[in-house]
Amino acid sequence: MSGRNPTNPDPVSEPVPEPGPESVSGSGEFDLIGRYFAPLAGPGAFGLGDDAAVLTPAPGQQLVFTADAIIAGVHFLADDPAADVAAKLLAVNLSDLAAMGAAGAGYLITTAWPRDLNESWIADFAQGLAAAQAEHGIALLGGDTVATDGPMSLSLTAIGQLPTGTAMRRNGARVGDAIYVSGRIGDAGVGLRILRDGLVGGAAAERETAIARYRRPGPRLALGQALRGLATACIDVSDGLIADLGHLAAQSGAAMVVDLAVVPLSPLADLIGGAAAAVVAGDDYELLFTAPFGDERRLLAAAQGTGTAVSRIGRVAAGEGVEVIDAAGEKVELARPGYRHF
Amino acid sequence: MSGRNPTNPDPVSEPVPEPGPESVSGSGEFDLIGRYFAPLAGPGAFGLGDDAAVLTPAPGQQLVFTADAIIAGVHFLADDPAADVAAKLLAVNLSDLAAMGAAGAGYLITTAWPRDLNESWIADFAQGLAAAQAEHGIALLGGDTVATDGPMSLSLTAIGQLPTGTAMRRNGARVGDAIYVSGRIGDAGVGLRILRDGLVGGAAAERETAIARYRRPGPRLALGQALRGLATACIDVSDGLIADLGHLAAQSGAAMVVDLAVVPLSPLADLIGGAAAAVVAGDDYELLFTAPFGDERRLLAAAQGTGTAVSRIGRVAAGEGVEVIDAAGEKVELARPGYRHF
């Protein structure tokens, strides 16, 4: 873990304002790292006291890398609990590893904290990170901590490993394959609408589940590993089921035909507009994959072994793009295929 | 490279303002990635079209990881050329790999662009990144692109490799070792003061060098690799020579005694207060390391083979912390040992 000399403000020419007793401005960067992040360091990370971490892959294993950034007010809500923000940041990255079929190996994190952030927020964040990394069996390898005048900005690079040559890609779907998705779609979208827009309705337990799925998605690491050698293409559902199917279609050079009536839905999906809304809501972090029809029994058995339900929702056809059909086989037009950041 | 569904603003309930014709708001995230970053993708990165990248270390090699974040207005100046910002972001991370003795293997980048950023800035940034990665013989493995309402925030994870068991650490300095530094100290500090504070004086060519060293530091990758097996401890100078010596002292459990009169200085160091100011200015990205006196000839020959000058500036003593002495051997008190981010 390292600090670097910032350009500005320079304490020589522009004295830093006197911090409040509990704001992070009262602590040095190295104090914060030592207090909250060093305890999370794994083997090879040297307690975050060195310039870099060292990792040796097991024989016959490849390493897999992914990075995602999240910004307060954009990817999480400013009043989301700190521990949940930490868990989600790790989960969205591990979900990408899961989609490749990899097991987690380690991660690096960079945090830009607002200067007036209460140090207890960082303590809660680190505690959430500790719980999440323990749950997923990985450890911190390094990172950086800086201050910002803007919204909190967090970035994480996750490192996974898998047997050489077994990575699942997005480009392997073949015409005639079936399309599957794990778990159910729309919980996170409902949870977001409850938290952000005060959406009402639904049973209390289901509302809590929806909120939890928004704040603390569970990456499907075990399922992803079980699908190696079975799935022909795989992606995780982050932008939304339809948008992510579009990525599979584009990379595989085929069309994805999805039967809206059989997509497994959140029990509260009707609160946000039903299936048509749930499949574009995103943030589900389920695995979306293709496999030959003939392998379905093996595939379902493999999934069952990981405790994760899997549903067949469509088929791969010649052509391009995503086609959504209803129970009668009629084409459905969706308002919004996926979110654009810019 | 991946996108995720952001929490807010949601185009359904909160329409995104109409973008100007050249702002990034007019382009989709995937368009931006495809246009500017996909051409930088290396082997195993699948053209950034997948969930994660795959990398297989060469036999007998370990991988090394480091991550640094930089924020506009804090770590670089808002009007620094985009290509220089890209080069610096890569360089500060590669400098950490250099300090371990590693060669570069690849990198991941996450970018939070302000919504009103001109797309030509991103084009220039990508071009600068392309030039820098070519110079250092590495390629892009993945990352993420998001929008922010705050200042630009950039994070990079660099991956290096080195023969298993040869990483240089910060903790190996032994009492009696000599202390060395590469290149010269203070150029970047002078460059920053010229750019930010309108500092005057000095020859035009030297001013240009100082600015270039601030904006485009050169990571000492070749030197770092040459020092493996020779240096007992190594760190790169980012926080400032004295602060970084303090890290070596703390990790090695010894005192670092540095002779201020022999520290190789920027020819313009007097403009900012001479040696005492240069050694706390930071951003030099030179290597600072220790080695037994008896190995000095071998060490200087190894350094010379990489074309980088190396100077002996002190010795490791029993005790703790950093002691600065002048030519007469008298202790010098410095105003400010290093920058604190918070």
Per-residue confidence band for A30, with pLDDT thresholds at 50, 70 and 90: low
pLDDT for B154: 96
Under 8 Å between Cβ of A259 and A185: no
Rounded mean pLDDT, B134-142: 94
Residues A160, B52: C-beta atoms closer than 8 Å: yes
Q: What distance in Å separates the CA atoms of residue A173 and residue A289, rounded to the nearest whole number?
A: 8
pLDDT for B342: 42
* Strand A233-236 relative to strand A153-163, pairing: unpaired
Residue B320 DSSP SS3:
coil
Chain B residues near residue A55 by CB distance under 8 angstroms: 62-65
A25-51+60-163: CATH topology: 60s Ribosomal Protein L30; Chain: A; (3.30.1330)
Chain B residues near residue A342 by CB distance under 8 angstroms: 19, 24-29, 32, 113, 115, 147
Per-residue confidence band for B336, with pLDDT thresholds at 50, 70 and 90: low
Is the pLDDT at A127 greater than 80? The verdict is yes
Q: What distance in Å separates the CA atoms of residue B195 and residue B213, rounded to the nearest whole number?
A: 12
Give the distance from residue B3's alpha carbon to the nearest chain A alpha carbon, in angstroms.
Answer: 6
pLDDT digits (tens, 9 = 90+) for A301-317: 999 999 999 999 999 99
Give the residue range(s) of CATH 3.90.650.10 domains in chain A.
Answer: 178-325
pLDDT for A336: 60
Indicate the pTM of the whole model.
0.88
B148 touching A (Cβ < 8 Å): yes
In the chain, the amino acid numbered A54 is: V
What count of CB pairs under 8 Å joins A to B?
330
pLDDT for B1: 53
pLDDT for A117: 92
pLDDT for B315: 98
Is the pLDDT at A183 greater than 90? The verdict is yes
Rounded mean pLDDT, A196-221: 96
Is the pLDDT at B30 greater than 80? The verdict is no
CATH number of B178-325: 3.90.650.10
Residues A100, B340: C-beta atoms closer than 8 Å: no
pLDDT for A1: 53
pLDDT for A77: 86
pLDDT for A340: 43
The shortest CB-CB distance from A5 to any of B51, B149, B282 is to B282
Give the distance from residue A294's alpha carbon to the nearest chain B alpha carbon, in angstroms.
Answer: 26
Is the pLDDT at A12 greater than 70? The verdict is no
Residue numbers of B between 259 and 318 with CB closer than 8 Å to A: 281-283
Residue with tokens 């032994």: B174
Residue numbers of B between 155 and 214 with CB closer than 8 Å to A: 155, 157, 159-160, 164, 167, 169-171, 192, 196-197
Residues B341, A64: C-beta atoms closer than 8 Å: no
Residues A29, B342: C-beta atoms closer than 8 Å: yes
Chain A residues near residue B144 by CB distance under 8 angstroms: 67-69, 155
Is the pLDDT at B224 greater than 70? The verdict is yes
Chain A residues near residue B13 by CB distance under 8 angstroms: 197
Per-residue confidence band for B32, with pLDDT thresholds at 50, 70 and 90: confident
Is the pLDDT at A59 greater than 70? The verdict is yes
Of residues A230 and A15, the one with the higher pLDDT is A230
Is the pLDDT at A19 greater than 80? The verdict is no
pLDDT for B16: 34
Is the pLDDT at B11 greater than 60? The verdict is no
Residues A238, B32: C-beta atoms closer than 8 Å: no
Give the distance from residue B33's alpha carbon to the nearest chain A alpha carbon, in angstroms.
Answer: 12
B24-163: CATH topology: 60s Ribosomal Protein L30; Chain: A; (3.30.1330)
B307: left (phi over 0), alpha (psi -120 to 50) or beta: left
Under 8 Å between Cβ of B249 and B314: no
Give the residue range(s) of CATH 3.30.1330.10 domains in chain B.
Answer: 24-163
pLDDT digits (tens, 9 = 90+) for A163-179: 999 999 999 999 999 99
Give the distance from residue B63's alpha carbon to the nearest chain A alpha carbon, in angstroms.
Answer: 5
Give the residue range(s) of CATH 3.30.1330.10 domains in chain A.
Answer: 25-51+60-163
Rounded mean pLDDT, B109-127: 94
Rounded mean pLDDT, A268-276: 96
The shortest CB-CB distance from B52 to any of A64, A113, A150 is to A64
Is the pLDDT at A133 greater than 80? The verdict is yes
Is the pLDDT at B13 greater than 60? The verdict is no
Residues B112, A157: C-beta atoms closer than 8 Å: no
Give the distance from residue A160's alpha carbon to the nearest chain B alpha carbon, in angstroms.
Answer: 9
Per-residue confidence band for B45, with pLDDT thresholds at 50, 70 and 90: confident
**Of A55-59, A280-284, B138-142, minimum mean pLDDT range:** A55-59
Is the pLDDT at A93 greater than 50? The verdict is yes
Which residue does chain B place closest to A88, by CA atoms? B4
Per-residue confidence band for B26, with pLDDT thresholds at 50, 70 and 90: low
3-state class percentages of chain A: helix first, strand second, coil last, to nearest 5: 35, 25, 40
Chain A residues near residue B142 by CB distance under 8 angstroms: 65-67
The shortest CB-CB distance from A282 to any of B5, B51, B148 is to B5
- DSSP letters, B253-291, are TSEEEEEGGGS-B-TTGGGGTSHHHHTTT-----EEEEE
A96 touching B (Cβ < 8 Å): yes
Is the pLDDT at A338 greater than 60? The verdict is no
| Mean pLDDT for all residues in chain B | 89
pLDDT for A56: 86
| Percentage with pLDDT > 90 across chain A | 75
Is the pLDDT at A143 greater than 80? The verdict is yes
Residue numbers of B between 52 and 71 with CB closer than 8 Å to A: 52-57, 62-71
Using alpha carbons, select from B311, B61, B318 the residue that is nearest to residue A54. B61
Per-residue confidence band for B339, with pLDDT thresholds at 50, 70 and 90: very low
Per-residue confidence band for B337, with pLDDT thresholds at 50, 70 and 90: low
Is the pLDDT at A292 greater than 60? The verdict is yes
Beta bridge partners of A114: A148
pLDDT for A79: 87
Chain A residues near residue B112 by CB distance under 8 angstroms: 69, 71, 153
Rounded mean pLDDT, B224-248: 97
What the block records as the tokens of A260 is: 């809206």
B96 touching A (Cβ < 8 Å): yes
Using alpha carbons, select from B194, B234, B197 the residue that is nearest to residue B213. B194
What the block records as the tokens of A337 is: 């295929």
| Percentage with pLDDT > 70 across chain B | 89
Rounded mean pLDDT, A23-30: 61
pLDDT for B24: 56
Give the distance from residue A110's alpha carbon to the nearest chain B alpha carbon, in angstroms.
Answer: 6
Under 8 Å between Cβ of A247 and A234: no
Which residue does chain A place closest to B67, by CA atoms? A143
pLDDT for A33: 81
A338 touching B (Cβ < 8 Å): yes
pLDDT digits (tens, 9 = 90+) for B189-210: 999 999 999 999 999 999 999 9
pLDDT for A240: 95
Give the distance from residue A172's alpha carbon to the nearest chain B alpha carbon, in angstroms.
Answer: 11
Cβ count near B172 (within 10 Å): 17
pLDDT for A97: 97
Q: What is the ipTM of this complex?
A: 0.86
Residues A240, B155: C-beta atoms closer than 8 Å: no
Rounded mean pLDDT, B127-136: 96
